[in-house]
Structure 1
Amino acid sequence: MASLTSSLPPATTEIRQWVLGTATELRVLRSSLQQTLVNETFSPNAELGDVPDKMIIVATELATNALRHSLPPTIVRLGRAEVVFVLDVADHDPLVIPEFAEARPPGAGGLGLQLARKLALDIGWYVEGKTKHVWAQFEAPAA
């Protein structure tokens, strides 16, 4: 298996944070993330296109990985720099390195990081103290 590249995301201003303890809370994360993105203030005539849909899929995949394979709670943060959004999903098991699942049969799971890599501009991970962060970057309209 190939590991995800260890790197820091761009510096952002936090817009919103969600703390998840169980997979049943993923539904709330999805709807709240959608609402947050729609209500975010953008420049006139700015459009998000399919960015919210991509972000919701990636947030769900990364949070699911954290809930399944790491220690709770899972903390999802949405941040924004001038022209990018960053989703940062944190858990409390820094010893589990995020790896791309390869050569798995369809339906066997483990494709969340590959999906994130396809939908996001960039992805990475880092450890800060006892917390592991996996992040994904998406295009945002100019502020």
Structure 2
Amino acid sequence: MINRPFGHQERVTELLTSPPPPQADGLHAWALSDSTELRSLRARLRQAVNAFAATDGAALDEIAENMVLVATELATNAIRHGLPPVTVRLLHTADQFVIDVADHDLSAVPELAGTRPPGAGGRGLHLARALSLQVGWYATDTTKHVWACFPIHP
């Protein structure tokens, strides 16, 4: 989990509207058409992060698990509420990983769920914000992207 300063309270109700860091380089990309492919995405993402960590000498167990969880939540949202195909990309900068999930529904803006009771759904973006350094979204002419950044070095 990302540690926030003591007393820090998230009161932001909207996501940052901007592309991920522009200097991010692509490591892998996966196309998904439905939720049956999420299990495979989790395994391939974990494998890609661990392979990168092996070459970088970092131990990324907790970071990798957080990334897999957030990628699954964002991809589930895109599959459920967007238009396929959904593309999940793993990017990196010198000090961060970026998960970027794109779908083709330009009519809906990603929104943080309000005060729904636990178990009522709609908490994926809140979870992403809690487990990552930063979460944002942007749109191109054909796709809507939601992204989250994670530290490469614990």
Pick the TM interval, shorter chain: over 0.9
Where structure 1 has 5 or more consecutive residues not aligned to the other structure, the ranges are none
Shift of 1:106: 1.2
Which moves more between the two structures, 56-65 or 46-55?
46-55
RMSD, matched Cα: 1.6
Retained in 2: the 8 A contact 1:3–1:97?
Answer: no
Would you say 1:9 and 2:15 are equivalent positions? no
Q: Secondary structure at the match of 1:67?
A: helix
TM-score with structure 2 setting the length = 0.87
Q: Secondary structure at the match of 1:66?
A: helix
Identical amino acids, percent of aligned pairs:
49
Look up the equivalent residue of 1:73 and give its one-letter code.
P
The equivalent residue for 1:130 is 142
Pick the aligned partner of 1:72 from 84, 104, 107: 84
Shift of 1:42: 3.4
Bigger strand fraction = 1
Retained in 2: the 8 A contact 1:43–1:141?
Answer: no
The equivalent residue for 1:28 is 40
TM-superposition CA deviations, 1:8-63 (whole Å, max 9, x none): 2112110000000000100000000011111115334x221410000000000000
Q: Secondary structure at the match of 2:153?
A: coil
Q: Secondary structure at the match of 2:31?
A: strand
The equivalent residue for 2:109 is 97
Where structure 2 has 5 or more consecutive residues not aligned to the other structure, the ranges are 1-12
CA distance in 1, matches of 2:33, 2:64: 23
Aligned length: 141
CA distance in 2, matches of 1:100, 1:86: 20
Distance 1:103 1:35, change over 3 A: same
